[in-house]
Structure 1
Amino acid sequence: MTADLDHPRRGGLWHHPEFRRLWIGESISQFGSTISQLALPLVAILIVQASTFEVGLLVMFEMAAFLLVGLPAGAWVDRMRFRSVLILNDVLRALALASVPLAQWLGVLGMEQLYVVALLVGVCTVFFDVAYQSFLPQLVEREQLVEANAKLQASESVMQISGPSVGGLLIQVLTAPYAVLLDAFSFLWSASWVAAIRTRPAKPERRPDRNLRREIGEGLRFVVGNPLLRPIALCTGAANLFGSMATAVFYVLLARELSLSPGLIGLLGSTSAIGGLAGSFVARRFAERVGQGPAIWISSLAMAPFGFVAPFVQRDWTLALLAFAQGAMWLCVVVYNITQVSFRQGLCPPALLGRMNATMRFLVWGTMPVGGFLGGLLGSMIGVRQTLLVVAVGGALSFLPVFLSPLRRMRELPSYAATV
């Protein structure tokens, strides 16, 4: 690594070439992903004529990988070069998604294939996300992590603003299966940017006594045994459980009960991301003003009231209220995520980064397939709106683990660099 890469020019990470390549690649991937996040449920609802329960199962399969491979993925990634993991899983996701329009063209597309594609994409996403969050501290200095995560979150929000709107229009023009094809191309483009990164840390040495079970245990003990990471995992896991329950029925409400067009559904998704973009700009200053620990629980609590809008939305002015509520909720989500992810990355020893990230993903994303299943089940039993009301009540309580922890009063959170 050259000195210029080790010490970016004044102006921060805007002038850091390696971070910029990762940033562009991730942004392109996010743009395509926002299209498929809208397109896959609409493929199931509009093309395959799936039931509410089947849509819930699709959400479950999208997230099941975090339960199936979440923990061993961290140990495996810690044994590999992070850059290679990113490239490989971008390519594999492209191939899986490209099979959807191919099957539609051949006239054989069904829910079984959508389940398989969702699971394969989920497995690749597990490995990509673990490697991505572990690679970032190798590209930038630890004191730049908050800035790096804020910039990545900002671009992600921009892609989420444009992606659903463009995706909704493409779904109307091309139909949902063929809109997924754009997502496949986006992953290939993302892979090309990651491949251009010149920073290539040495492959971790193969320890003669390495043991997968022991390495997984080290990651689990680091997270579960830490009095600051444990409440973050509980809070995020609870929020994700109820959030995935909402996802299982939300598009059914919009597309089937309210009969909204794909374009309008996409526009609603874009307004959510506007709040996320705003959150990426204010997260750092908010944490500096109230303190890092309070920023975590305050942002978690602040999102709770906005969940009570969706259960009562109608095809009238309340759609505008829903758009505002979604945007405000995502502003809080992004502030929460930037603060707690940056803290986790700074706290963890470098040798444990993959396992720490994988353990956190297992604990906080592993609740999502359960939520998808429960959302689909409840939606088919008690109704879509009633399920969204259950979600709103449960989500309002998810802040309690961080509020009742030492984080509540800690303005400055510890870091690994301060202990060595």
Structure 2
Amino acid sequence: MGTTTTETRVLLHRHRPFVLLCAEQVASSVGRQITALALTLLAVTGLGTGPFGAATLLALTYLPGAVLSPLAGALVDRVRLRRLLVTVTALQTLIVASVPLAGAVGHITLPHLYAVAVVSGTLTFTLSIALQAALPRVVASERLLGANSALTAARTSGQIGGPAPGGVLVGLLGADTALVAGSAAYAVEALFLLALPAALNHPVGAGKSAGVKSLTAELGKGLEVVRAEHRLRRMVLAGAGLNLGSGAAAALYVLYASRDLALPAWQLGATYAAYSAATLVGAMVAGRFGKAAGLWRATQLFGVGAGAAVFLIPAASLGLAFPVLLAYQVCYGITGTVWMISMTTAQQLVTPEGMRGRVAGLVQAVLLATVPVGALAGGALAAWFGTVPVLTGSAVVALLAAATLWASGSPPPVQSGLTQRRQWFSRR
């Protein structure tokens, strides 16, 4: 159970369905990076929108995930999974391609870009939930930690490689034409997903029964899983607080580094490059820490580490700004990645088969909802109190949220048929 193949002894890098998922992650990440860069530059330089318009474009990419993820999770548990993956990615290809098509006829508008951001965000977060549900059906449960680490590394490689060619294409062809490359990356992703095993098209959840009452009941069952798993619930709430603080800091980061610290563009870019490299390192070491200490302990340690790292952003105002911000990106990249891989693996292990979509949707909604809230709140408060005080307060929020993982009094894990797969609660 939990995998579509009996070849559980095959190395992951030789396991064809898993290799396809890794290739999909690279293509998807490249597509997202090019699309995000080109859309923002098109809005700012092509349509002359101001800071609020650019911030709105970013917020609209997160809003669908915060609002619609639970419904997307219920959909994932009902339908043929491979078909859903391919359909979502094909739609992503078309929606991104609509921008260069509009550019060809000379009719690109800001509402069009906003619509692309909303639809693309909806498709992206639906795909994320579907892939979380698909992975335990592709690899055995005891290999999930290594599989999640490898997928994160594949995704990071796309994040490293995406912005550079995206910037070149924007410079040479223009932002709207560069989106052709983003659309092509999504098309390649769809081909990789189409090659996944046909067994993924057999629903294991609620089936096709529809209706509002049925949907509400299904979402309630997913919520019950999160409630029953006390430590999973604590990880989700801590992650929401951590995203709230770090989201506020991220919203002010570019403005703070360029205006307050007077960092040149190459140094600012270097800090982002350091983060991408650190994320790759985090993906490489996550499995080692998860196996040595257990997923719960790894989540505790690296969650607090990620929260503490945010303090390095306001600390850069004290001197040595560039090295301190480099240190922040490295520390946050490693700790945040290990924390997220550990949490995602734990969630997959404790969720019953057939309910992974609903649980992933609910968890994703909670984690995403605080990102735009933190970003908007950080920007508003900075106008009143100044950038450094708000950055410091954001770090306090992030650290306190992560520290709740260490609160005493947690009950033992619920015992059931999943007990063997709940080894993440304790040291291995």
Of 198-207 and 296-305, the range deviating more from structure 2: 198-207
Where does 1:131-280 land on structure 2 (aligned, <5 Å)?
Answer: 131-201=130-200, 202-204=202-204, 205-207=207-209, 211-253=214-256, 258=262, 261=265, 266-280=269-283
Offset, 1:397: 1.9
Quick one: which of 377, 380, 384 aligns to 2:380? 377
CA distance in 1, matches of 2:175, 2:384: 28
Deviations 1:259-317 (A, max 9, x none): 855x7655432221111111111112122333322211110111233323434658x96
Quick one: which of 327, 333, 336 aligns to 2:336? 333
Cα pair 2:245 2:396 within 8 Å, conserved: no
Cα pair 2:246 2:398 within 8 Å, conserved: yes
CA distance in 2, matches of 1:188, 1:253: 37
Cα pair 1:168 1:265 within 8 Å, conserved: no
CA distance in 1, matches of 2:384, 2:56: 15
Deviations 1:190-214 (A, max 9, x none): 0100101124232344458970111
Tell whether 2:399 aligns with 1:400: no
CA distance in 2, matches of 1:406, 1:415: 24
Offset, 1:240: 1.8
Q: Secondary structure at the match of 1:398?
A: helix
- Counterpart of 1:359 in structure 2 is 362
Change (3 A) 1:4 1:334: closer
CA distance in 2, matches of 1:244, 1:187: 27
Offset, 1:98: 2.3
Offset, 1:122: 1.2
CA RMSD of aligned residues (A): 3.2
- Counterpart of 2:426 in structure 1 is none
Corresponding letter in the other structure for 2:420: A
Offset, 1:399: 0.5
Offset, 1:13: 0.7
Corresponding letter in the other structure for 1:183: G
Offset, 1:416: 2.1
Corresponding letter in the other structure for 1:416: L
Deviations 1:132-166 (A, max 9, x none): 10011111111110111011011122222222333
Deviations 1:68-88 (A, max 9, x none): 212121111110112111111
Corresponding letter in the other structure for 1:117: V
- Counterpart of 2:64 in structure 1 is 65
CA distance in 2, matches of 1:148, 1:414: 25
Cα pair 1:275 1:331 within 8 Å, conserved: yes
Corresponding letter in the other structure for 1:26: Q
CA distance in 1, matches of 2:186, 2:74: 24
Corresponding letter in the other structure for 2:185: S
- Counterpart of 1:416 in structure 2 is 418
CA distance in 2, matches of 1:260, 1:181: 30
Change (3 A) 1:21 1:406: farther
Structure 2: gaps of 5 or more residues: 423-428
The percentage of aligned residue pairs carrying the same residue is: 26
CA distance in 1, matches of 2:51, 2:385: 11
CA distance in 1, matches of 2:386, 2:101: 34
CA distance in 2, matches of 1:408, 1:269: 40
CA distance in 2, matches of 1:246, 1:414: 41
- Counterpart of 1:282 in structure 2 is 285
Deviations 1:31-78 (A, max 9, x none): 222233344334444443433333332222111112321212111111
- Counterpart of 2:99 in structure 1 is 100
CA distance in 1, matches of 2:367, 2:5: 34
Change (3 A) 1:221 1:414: closer
Change (3 A) 1:415 1:105: farther
Corresponding letter in the other structure for 2:397: G
Deviations 1:81-137 (A, max 9, x none): 121111111122222222333444555444433322211111112211111100111
Change (3 A) 1:379 1:56: farther
Corresponding letter in the other structure for 2:292: R
Change (3 A) 1:260 1:85: farther
Cα pair 1:9 1:16 within 8 Å, conserved: no
Tell whether 2:6 aligns with 1:6: yes
CA distance in 2, matches of 1:73, 1:229: 20
Cα pair 2:141 2:349 within 8 Å, conserved: yes
Tell whether 2:302 aligns with 1:303: no
Cα pair 1:241 1:368 within 8 Å, conserved: yes
Deviations 1:205-230 (A, max 9, x none): 44589701111111112113421111
Change (3 A) 1:415 1:118: farther
Deviations 1:241-267 (A, max 9, x none): 233333433344567775855x76554
Tell whether 2:347 aligns with 1:344: yes
TM-score by length of 1: 0.87
